[in-house]
Amino acid sequence: MEIDEIGKKFAVHLGVTASLRDQLKADARSHGMMVFEHDLAGLADVEALCQYLAREFMYPFPTRGLDAAISLISDLEWFGSSRGYLILVRGADDSSPIAGDFVSLFPNILDRWRTQEDIPFIVAIEEKGERLKTALADANEFMDGAGQLPWTQPGIGRVDVVVHS
């Protein structure tokens, strides 16, 4: 299955198999997309997650907290990719103390990419546990509420979550 076959430029995919991950990575690179591979195993708390994200995404200045992560990952201008981004994730199983915090960032981030830049931003996560699904559902519910505010930019709201079998 190729990125084009998935049919969604802004989505979080759960339960991505190793073979699908490899196919997505090859397809993303052939389309000129930038690929990030993350392994969350061993990250013990939100502070460790924030430090990890700062290193992996090479933030251009020091930051603290998940709000900064949302803001900077919603931009990534220092990489200069106009073709899009593919985020591949391992180690986000239901036993991880930070997996829910990590995945809950992406509805807000994807919403910003689709409403501001229209540059593809796809997240593919190997795991698909109930904590991940709940965290994404809660984050999407928050985005629905944000989309109802009178001063909200048109198009703000939930993002697609695809659970692969």
Pairing between β-strand 85-90 and β-strand 34-39 as defined by DSSP bridges? parallel
* Strand partners for 35: 86
* CA 13 centroid distance within chain: 9
| Cα–Cα distances in angstroms (integers) from residue 109 to residues 12, 53, 75, 149, 158, in the given order | 11, 14, 9, 18, 11
Q: Where are the domains of the chain?
A: 3-163
- How many other CB atoms are there within 10 angstroms of residue 147's CB atom? 16
pLDDT band at 156 (very low <50, low <70, confident <90, very high): confident
CB-based contacts of 25: which residues, under 8 Å, 6+ apart? 35, 37, 86, 88
Q: CATH topology for 3-163?
A: Rossmann fold (3.40.50)
Question: With 70 as the cut, is the pLDDT of residue 92 above it?
Answer: yes
pTM, 2 dp = 0.88
Which tokens is 84 given?
């899009």
Residue 103 φ/ψ, nearest 5 degrees: -70, -30
**Tens of pLDDT along 30-71?**
999 999 999 999 999 999 999 999 999 999 999 999 999 999
**Tens of pLDDT along 101-143?**
999 999 999 988 888 777 899 999 999 989 999 998 988 888 7
Question: With 60 as the cut, is the pLDDT of residue 157 above it?
Answer: yes
* Type of residue at 163: V
CB-based contacts of 80: which residues, under 8 Å, 6+ apart? none
